[in-house]
Structure 1
Amino acid sequence: MHLNFNAQLMTIDQLDPAGTYTYADYLQWTFEERLEIIKGKIFKMSPAPARRHQKISFQISNGIYNYLKGKSCEAYTAPFDVRLTPLKRNAKPDQVYTVVQPDISVICDLDKLDDQGCIGAPELIIEILSPGNSKKEMKDKFEVYQENGVKEYWLVDSTEKAIFVYVLNESGIFIGLKPLIDEEIVTSSVLPGFEMLVGEIFAE
């Protein structure tokens, strides 16, 4: 059920965890805390990422930004709204039930970009795992990225210092590649020629 009393809301705690929300609701919220909506359900985001999380994000995004110089794709780091919907660009705010803020998003179809962020699936999404990530959040994000056609999805595990890469096959299913660690090189099927040494990403 769609709840339409946002004007009266002052804190996140006033939201109904069992309610169903859309991007139209999201646009009206003025909480300091950050939220994501996955298939209509709200997920509280962790407080400001820890220093290590931010450093890893910077290392990866810096490598991607350097690679993208002179190319048509663009990369964005959180906070950056990605609206996922089967209706794609024609969707109205009250028709969008998933709004996420991936740590890093790479978009090559620039028609998907607007002043609010991205509507439709980025070609590449990178998420850096934090202690605050719930198993349900991880599972739901994996599923929604797959369902909406994200071509490549990286899960970066800062604790294990490993990168797990999933590539969408022709059937629309994520195929997991061999985990990458230490002196191995991470590449990307959607960014031909991109290479980064895994050890450099996790360097202290």
Structure 2
Amino acid sequence: MGFALRKDERYTVEDYLTWPEDGPRYELIDGVPYELNAPGYEHQRVVAALHYELEYHRRERLKAGGGDGGPTCDILESPIDVALSDITVVQPDLIVVCDPSIVVNGVVRGAPDLVVEVLSPSSAAKDRKHKRRLYEAAGVPQYLVIDPAYHFVESYLLGADGRYPEPDILEPADTLTVRIAPGFSLTLSQLFGWTLPLEVRQEYTRYG
């Protein structure tokens, strides 16, 4: 997330949807527009790696006739508009949507089943604090915060009380699981192996 523009004005989701698509990218947080910086190379490697692993798992379950979770879900990377309220639209780095009814005219209106944010220097504070609050309030079942610089993941799982307890902190030797994808598991060394040079990356990844 970049810098806020015109903080003295407040906008709605409907205002946001009229803005030019060929201009700067924004998120709308509580009515305030924030310009988005272009993500870095390592950031995008991590997003692509997780997308690949989730899609591979989804397809394998589909072949096997798996019913619950995964096969009928869509896995999408930014830019994709996710409207969490009448005055908030975010563009998470990656989402999983299993309920097609919340997609209206190309906009996700409601809580995805999984939201992933990959940290960058310009977004770290907001992703960890402000966006965590937004996703919790919207009822996002699982929120992953991935740090590509220090190679760890914070996994927030929504409780029965509608709140996120303290996150599970995963390190390279730990295994990442996804609530909506039964049977999915990925060690962080495999995930972050994608961000290493090719000759090293091949030692960590299963499909590279």
Check whether TM > 0.5: yes
Deviation string 1:29-82 (CA, Å, 9 cap, x unpaired) is: 226211101121222211x21110010000001111112222111111000111
Count of residues paired in the alignment: 181
Counterpart for residue 42 of structure 1: 33
Q: Does 1:122 align with 2:112?
A: yes
Contact 1:182-1:198 within 8 A present in 2 as well: yes
Bigger shift: residues 121-130 or 17-26 = 17-26
Deviation string 1:91-131 (CA, Å, 9 cap, x unpaired) is: xxxxx211100000001112112332311100100000001
Shift of 1:175: 2.0
Select the residue among 53, 63, 75 that pairs with 1:63. 53
Q: Distance in 2 between matches of 1:16 and 1:159?
A: 32
Q: From the superposition, tell whether residues 134 and 182 of structure 1 become closer, same or farther in structure 2 (CA, over 3 Å).
A: closer
Contact 2:119-2:127 within 8 A present in 1 as well: no
> Equivalences for 1:22-171 in 2 at 5 Å?
22-30=12-20, 32-46=23-37, 48-69=38-59, 70=62, 71-85=71-85, 96-133=86-123, 135-136=125-126, 138-171=128-161
Q: Structure 2 unaligned segments of length 5 or more: list them.
A: 63-70, 197-208
Using the aligned pairs only, state the percent identity.
Answer: 30
Specify the SS of the correspondent of 1:28.
Answer: coil
Aligned residue identity for 1:140? H
Specify the SS of the correspondent of 1:84.
Answer: strand
Contact 2:127-2:145 within 8 A present in 1 as well: no
Q: Structure 1 unaligned segments of length 5 or more: list them.
A: 1-12, 86-95
Counterpart for residue 175 of structure 2: 185
Contact 1:164-1:176 within 8 A present in 2 as well: no
Specify the SS of the correspondent of 1:202.
Answer: helix
Q: Distance in 2 between matches of 1:125 and 1:191?
A: 13
> Equivalences for 1:3-22 in 2 at 5 Å?
15-22=5-12
Aligned residue identity for 2:134? V
Shift of 1:181: 1.3
Q: From the superposition, tell whether residues 134 and 198 of structure 1 become closer, same or farther in structure 2 (CA, over 3 Å).
A: closer
Contact 2:113-2:141 within 8 A present in 1 as well: yes
Q: Distance in 2 between matches of 1:51 and 1:125?
A: 20
Contact 1:68-1:74 within 8 A present in 2 as well: no
Bigger shift: residues 189-198 or 163-172 = 189-198
Shift of 1:134: 5.5
Aligned residue identity for 2:95? S
> What CA RMSD, in Å, does the superposition of the two structures yield over aligned residues?
1.8
Q: Give the TM-score of the pair, scaled to structure 1.
A: 0.83
Counterpart for residue 204 of structure 2: none
Q: Distance in 2 between matches of 1:108 and 1:32?
A: 30
Shift of 1:144: 0.8
Q: Distance in 2 between matches of 1:178 and 1:152?
A: 11
Q: Distance in 2 between matches of 1:44 and 1:156?
A: 21
Structure 1 segments (4+ residues) deviating >3 Å:
none
Q: Distance in 1 between matches of 2:56 and 2:124?
A: 32
Q: Distance in 1 between matches of 2:97 and 2:104?
A: 12
